[in-house]
Amino acid sequence: MTHTLLRSRSGGDQTRDELITQWALAARDGDARAFEEFVQATRRDVWRFVAHLSGDLHAADDLSQETYLRALTALPGYAARSGARTWLLAIARRTVADRFRSAAARPRIADTSDWQAAAERAQPRDLPGFEEGVALLDLLETLDAPRREAFVLTQLAGLPYADAAAAVGCPIGTVRSRVARARERVSELLLAADHVA
């Protein structure tokens, strides 16, 4: 199946997004192997997107799994009006939003008076790239939610601007503007950090 999809367009290779969409369509039609390929091809993008949207690396695995469960349920209705990766990231966005709504409705109970310090102490420290990942999350946290979302979709997940606009439900010009402003802000913060160091 994979080799057929890779060469099905006039003998040339298809783009990654077209291939992902073909796998989603084949999975919709009952091809279990195509669904596995679809998940493998999109898993990293989904995980990174939900991790950045939620700001919670520990919840990213659960949010990713919930995204794929929702996608599997919605797959029979997928009509390929947008690319499958765009469709999937829109589901991921709703999954994170639903998690925030659910958490906001639930009271939080902490058995310590300084829960934030306790949470920080529990974070892993010796993982490769950990400090850079924390620094990036800190930089992204300074952005307002719409700019952060546009930046993550286009710059980290690699979606084209049109697909990012479809995923968040706004015009492409708005996404371009948000990304440009997010880049400016991140650059300003990096320059300021360099001057302090």
CB 117 within 8 A of CB 155: no
**169 and 98: one domain?**
no
77 & 146 share domain? no
Query: Do residues 96 and 138 both lie within one domain?
Result: no
- CATH number of residue 61's parent domain: 1.10.1740.10
pLDDT at 117: 61
By the 8 A CB rule, do 159 and 153 touch?
A: yes
| Coil/strand/helix, residue 34 | helix
pLDDT confidence of residue 187: 81
φ, ψ at 184 (rounded to 5°): -60, -45
Hey, is 85 helix, strand or coil? Answer: helix
- Give dist(CA 197, CA 184) in Å, integer: 20
10 lies in the same domain as 72: yes
Q: Of 89, 104, 119, which one is at a domain's C-terminal end?
A: 104
Q: What is the pTM of this model?
A: 0.58
> Looking at residue 173, what is its pLDDT?
94
Q: Note the pLDDT of residue 35.
A: 94
Task: Show the domain range for 24.
Answer: 1-104
For position 141, which CATH number holds?
Answer: 1.10.10.10
User: Which residues in the chain show pLDDT less than 70?
Assistant: 1-14, 104-137, 196-197
Q: Are 179 and 162 in contact (CB under 8 A)?
A: no
Distance, C-alpha 117 to centroid of its chain: 28
- For residue 78 the two structure tokens come to 């997928």
Please tell me the predicted confidence (pLDDT) of residue 25: 96
144 & 92 share domain: no
Question: Measured at the alpha carbon of residue 23, what is the angle toward residues 18 and 27, in degrees to the nearest 5?
Answer: 150
Instruction: Report the C-alpha gap between 46 and 28 in whole angstroms.
Output: 19
Same domain, 95 and 135: no
pLDDT of residue 129: 47
Q: Which of 93, 102, 98, 105 is nearest to 146 (CA)?
A: 93
Is residue 46 a part of any domain in this protein? yes
pLDDT at 195: 72
Over the stretch 150-167, which tens digit does the pLDDT of each residue have?
Answer: 888 888 888 889 988 988
Q: Based on the domain organization, do 189 and 148 belong to the same domain?
A: yes
**Of 104, 122, 143, which marks where a domain is finished?**
104
| Residues in contact with 167: Cβ distance below 8 Å, sequence separation at least 6, in sequence order | 86, 89, 90, 93, 153, 159
Q: How many domains does the chain have?
A: 2
Which residues make Cβ contacts (< 8 Å) with residue 97, sequence separation at least 6? Answer: none
